[in-house]
Amino acid sequence: MDRKFNSLNQMRVLGRWMRMVTIPNQSSVPKAFSEFDEAGRMKPSSYYERVVDVMEELVKFTLLVRERSDYLVERYSERVETAAELSKRVNQRAI
| Reported pTM | 0.57
Note the pLDDT of residue 3: 63
Q: Which residues of the chain, if any, have pLDDT below 70?
A: 1-5, 94-95
Q: How deeply is 67 buried, as exposed, middle or buried, from its count of CB atoms within 10 A (0-12, 13-18, 19+)?
A: exposed
Q: What is the pLDDT of residues 67-92, one digit of tens each?
A: 887 888 777 877 787 778 878 878 87
CA–CA separation, 41 and 56 (whole Å): 18
* Cα 13 to Cα 7: distance, rounded to the nearest angstrom: 10
Q: For the chain, give every domain's residue range.
A: 25-90
